[in-house]
Homo-oligomer: A and B are copies of this chain.
Amino acid sequence: MFRHVVMFSWADGVDDAQIAAVAAALDALPSKIGVLRSYRHGPDAGISDGNFDYVVVADLNNADDFATYRDHPDHVAVIQGLLAGRVKQRAAVQYETS
Query: A residues touching B (Cβ–Cβ < 8 Å)?
Result: 2-3, 5, 7, 40-45, 47-48, 50-55, 57, 63, 66, 89, 91-98
Contacts and interface: CB of A to CB of B under 8 A. Distances in A.
B3 A57 contact: yes
Copies in the complex: 2
A2 to B, nearest CB: 8
Contacts of A40: 3, 97-98
- Chain A at the B interface: SS class: strand
Contact of A54 (B3, B45, B55, B93): B93
Contact of A92 (B2, B48, B54, B57): B48
Contact of A63 (B45, B51, B66): B45
